Amino acid sequence: MSTETEHLQEAHLSGAGTLRTEEMILNIGPQHPATHGVLRLVVTLDGERVVEGTPVVGYMHRGHEKLLEQRDFRQITNLLSRMDWLSGINNEIPASICVEKLMEIEVPRRATYLRVILAEINRILNHLMFTGSFGLELGATTPVMYAFRERELLQSAMEMATGGRMHFGFIRPGGLKEDIPKGFVDLALKGIRQLIKAIPDYENLLMGNEIFKQRTVGVGRLPARLALEYGVSGPILRASGVPYDIRKADPYLNYSEFDFDIPVGDTGDSFDRYFVLIQEMKESAKIVEQALTGLPAGSHIGVVPKRLTLPPGEVWSRAENPLGELGYYLVSDGDAKPYRMKVRTPSFSNISVVPHLLRGAYVPDMVAILGSMFFVVGDIDR
């Protein structure tokens, strides 16, 4: 063997850097099969490891906040559910609560119960979607088929009540647009019971799978203090060990009357986030069952003036959206239209912490981390 070959062999065996490496900047998206929507990532790679990853947002920026100033309080409901498009009813509820606080409108008990039922069914629909899509991004095509089977049944229940499958426009200041039809309670209960029977399937299919565990346990660990600093909320915050749920901490509607738990994770890695998602579905199903069986009689809307003109004032009202803390800061100057309506969306804060998670991760882990961050691009970009 020549001395040159011997030298190369020696260098290779000792792992010394005879290899000269350069960092590469890779652009992922905005259109990409693995990213969830039009989120663009610019990552600097050193071989297979990510040195730095920055999300570039704004590809779905539609200017909601400016548009909300051009419409009156009945017309804004049309736009509100199109930001986080998977949780239609949950987006409309804090906006109505803002108006009800400013105008001091009282909401009847039946309307509150119905709002809770619709909101929790929507939460289940949202979580089912992410249950399916997380598996799809990691290469598993079965969970998404199962998830949509459950979604279809609950969506037909929502459609029976509200007329829409995804964007409902059903919440009005003071209550609901109209009362639920006969048969809604039965159909919703049927959907919930089917879901409860199917949840062990979701648990075993992915969480019991060795490959899934290898890809997600220990990957994308989010420490709790970092999460709080960035304003991360929702299942992601709870997976990092912080037991903060606005339905318990700062109850709105009548969540304080229902009996449910808050699932909390340990380490804040991708596996914990998925675990929290599945457990939350169980808790939401509990709430829906309690509310459906205890639904009081009454009116579906309170006493609301025909023309909604808010008194001048400012109000900040928030709710626990399926993805996190959604809030509206409403500034009113006495007109029929809002003067300024700031929308605080959960995914905006959740995604701003992604650069910390991507640092030092491998390229395939990047997909697992993004898939577990449970964001909706319309929510980031508004």
Residues 271 to 330 in contact with another protein, rule: CB under 8 A: 272, 275, 279, 306-307, 314-318, 325, 327, 329
Query: Candidates 11-19, 20-28, 183-191, 262-270 — which segment interacts with another protein by CB under 8 A?
Result: 262-270
Give me 186's structure tokens: 């039965």
67 binds another protein (CB under 8 A): yes
Give me 119's structure tokens: 């909101």
Q: Which is nearer to another protein, 61 or 197 (CB)?
A: 61
Q: Which is nearer to another protein, 83 or 114 (CB)?
A: 83
26 binds another protein (CB under 8 A): no
CB atoms within 10 A of CB 73: 26
Q: Which is nearer to another protein, 88 or 175 (CB)?
A: 88
Q: Is 44 helix (H, G, I), strand (E, B) or coil?
A: strand
Q: Choose, by CB under 8 A, the member of 152, 178, 186, 201 that binds another protein.
A: 152
Query: 167: which residues sit within 8 A by CB, 6+ positions away?
Result: 78, 81, 82, 85, 88
Q: Which is nearer to another protein, 71 or 177 (CB)?
A: 71
Touching another protein, residues 92-121 (CB under 8 A): 101
d(CA 22, CA 333) in angstroms, rounded, equals 57
Q: Choose, by CB under 8 A, the member of 109, 177, 248, 286 that binds another protein.
A: 248
37 binds another protein (CB under 8 A): yes
Q: For the CB of residue 245, give the shortest distance to another protein in the complex, in Å.
A: 6
d(CA 276, CA 281) in angstroms, rounded, equals 9
Query: Candidates 110-118, 171-179, 213-221, 258-266 — which segment interacts with another protein by CB under 8 A?
Result: 258-266
Q: Which is nearer to another protein, 66 or 197 (CB)?
A: 66
Q: For the CB of residue 134, give the shortest distance to another protein in the complex, in Å.
A: 14
Exposure string (b/e) for 94-114, b if CB count within 10 Å is 16 or more?
Answer: bbbbbbbbbbebebbebbbbb
Which residues, listed in sequence order, are joined to residue 44 by a DSSP beta bridge?
25, 52
Query: Candidates 16-24, 43-51, 177-185, 373-381 — which segment interacts with another protein by CB under 8 A?
Result: 373-381
| Helix axis angle, 363-372 to 270-293, nearest 10° | 20
250 binds another protein (CB under 8 A): yes
252 binds another protein (CB under 8 A): no
Query: Candidates 2-10, 110-118, 173-181, 220-228 — which segment interacts with another protein by CB under 8 A?
Result: 220-228
144 binds another protein (CB under 8 A): yes
Q: 371 near 357, Cβ under 8 Å?
A: no
Which residues, listed in sequence order, are joined to residue 49 by a DSSP beta bridge?
46, 362
d(CA 131, CA 149) in angstroms, rounded, equals 12
Q: Which is nearer to another protein, 9 or 309 (CB)?
A: 309
Q: Which is nearer to another protein, 114 or 144 (CB)?
A: 144
CA 350 vs. chain centroid, Å, equals 10
Q: Which is nearer to another protein, 289 or 381 (CB)?
A: 381
Which residues, listed in sequence order, are joined to residue 160 by a DSSP beta bridge?
none
204 binds another protein (CB under 8 A): no
Residue type, 129: M
d(CA 357, CA 373) in angstroms, rounded, equals 10
Closest CA to 321 of 353, 343, 337: 343
231 binds another protein (CB under 8 A): yes
Q: For the CB of residue 8, give the shortest distance to another protein in the complex, in Å.
A: 38
CB atoms within 10 A of CB 235: 29
Q: Which is nearer to another protein, 166 or 199 (CB)?
A: 166
249 binds another protein (CB under 8 A): yes
31 binds another protein (CB under 8 A): yes
80: Cα within 13 Å, side-chain hemisphere: 30
